[in-house]
Amino acid sequence: MESTMRTSYAKEDVCFLLKDITGLVEPLPSKEREKLIQKGMHYCEMLPIEYEPGKAYMEAYDKALESYAGAVARAVGVLADKIIDRKGRDVVLVSLARAGTPIGILLKRCLQKKYGYSVRHYSISIIRGRGIDQNAMAYLLARYEPRQLQFVDGWIGKGAILEELSLALRPYSGVSQELGVVADPAHATGLCGTHEDLLIPSSCLNCTVSGLISRTFLREDIIGEHDFHGAVYYENLKDKDLSYDFIDAIEKEFRFVRKEDFAQEKCFVSKEDFVRDGKEQYGSGENPGMCEVKALAEKFGVENIYLIKPGIGETTRVLLRRVPWKVFIDPRYLHDPAVAHIIRLARDKNVPVEEYPLLHYKTCGIIETMADT
């Protein structure tokens, strides 16, 4: 089975193991979709209407890209080195579509430039509560050794997809359950570029920085037993496509340093990272980010922790495609350029923004509980 997924990315950069379902699914407005999700319909059975940002928001995006391209490039470089240390030159990158796809492309280019390694890059679907695309896994394992596969994504919020991946890969002997990410403010993995809540500018937009594809889709009336998970190609947004503008902006900032310089990057957990005002913040076997999320849920009476989306990337997603209740910004970062697009987007959507002290994150979005759904 070969993929027929259309995308604005070149085939040399990525192979999407997805079924093209363009024209088969009617996207839903955020409020209608949110009600259905909270009634029990799975989010993967619907697609949101792609948000088309206005001029002010795009100016915030451009500023974010200008300000953070260097930091993202450094984190990508650190992650690339760690992957090579673990996997060697015959690694096969497997990004989690779609947010992980541009990261996979950047890692592929970094490995080519720094090491001269030409590695393969595939992008496949994993869905919280539904697992990984088993047909895509069968495709990969028919062509590569299990040890070669390295899964990559953009960032970790509270670690839900990391847990989903670990669970989904247990039946696949020899496949590493470790997820490589550029930013891990939850302190859930060592295979990351940084533990800082780093603004990855691609998180600011949807399909227009992800090869013009939708988030992935799984519903049995459209996705057959032997199909890959699905996605839509947004050809109508070709004139607004910034996918390669993002890739090129980060790639220009690659600076290749010695591996021994890793220590200069904020990649490793220190006890001080978990302490504020002298009070220990360790959890009971869970990653520190999840512990913080549970504390927020208790304080604000949020019964479902999946309605709490910590970190810059996840907060942005809430504003772009869910129905937010409010957004918290740690007072230390209120004037940080990394959160300017969040403030702009919240203002455009009339979402309250409040200052609230956060331990591991710069921002946190909370989805509105839809009463009497």
The identity of residue 240, as a single letter, is K
Rounded mean pLDDT, 330-336: 95
**Could you tell me what percent of the chain has a pLDDT over 70?**
91
The identity of residue 142, as a single letter, is A
Higher model confidence: residue 282 or residue 369? 369
Q: Average the pLDDT over each of 124-133, 145-154, 196-205, 249-258 and give the range with the smallest value.
A: 249-258
Using H for helix, E for strand and C for coil, what is the string for 191-259? Answer: CEEECCCCCCHHHHCCHHHCCCECCCECCCCCCCCCCCCEECECHHHHHHCCHHHHHHHHHCCCCCCCH
Q: Contact, 75 vs 194, CB < 8 A?
A: yes
Residue 257 — very low, low, confident or very high, per pLDDT cuts 50/70/90?
A: low
Quote the pLDDT of residue 267. Answer: 43
* CA dist., res. 341 & res. 59, Å (int): 9
Which two tokens mark 1?
């089975």
Q: State the greatest distance between any 2 C-alpha atoms of the chain, in Å, as a whole number.
A: 58
**Beta-strand relationship, 149-155 and 92-96:** parallel
Residue 28, burial from CB neighbour count under 10 angstroms (0-12, 13-18, 19+): middle
**How many Cβ atoms sit within 10 Å of the Cβ of residue 15?**
18
Q: Contact, 209 vs 202, CB < 8 A?
A: yes
Residue 373, burial from CB neighbour count under 10 angstroms (0-12, 13-18, 19+): exposed
CA torsion, ordered 332, 337, 342, 346, to nearest 10 deg: 80
Residue 277 DSSP one-character state: T
Helices (H) and strands (E) in the chain, counts: 9, 16
Quote the pLDDT of residue 139. Answer: 98
Domains within the chain, CATH numbers bracketed: 15-263 (no CATH), 285-367 (3.30.1330.30)
Quote the pLDDT of residue 96. Answer: 97
Q: Contact, 125 vs 219, CB < 8 A?
A: no
pLDDT at 221 over 90: yes
Quote the pLDDT of residue 91. Answer: 98
Residue 150 DSSP one-character state: E
pLDDT at 274 over 80: no
Separation in Å, CA 241 to CA 17, 112, 128, 208, 298: 21, 25, 28, 5, 41
Residue 259 — very low, low, confident or very high, per pLDDT cuts 50/70/90?
A: low
* CA dist., res. 177 & res. 323, Å (int): 32
* CA dist., res. 162 & res. 286, Å (int): 12
Element at 275 (helix H, strand E): strand 275-276
**How many Cβ atoms sit within 10 Å of the Cβ of residue 42?**
14
* CA dist., res. 198 & res. 106, Å (int): 16
Quote the pLDDT of residue 283. Answer: 41
Quote the pLDDT of residue 370. Answer: 81
The pLDDT tens digits of the residues spanning 38-94 come to 999 999 999 999 888 888 889 888 988 999 999 999 999 999 999 999 999 999 999
Q: Which residues pair with 127 in a beta bridge?
A: 131
Element at 152 (helix H, strand E): strand 149-155
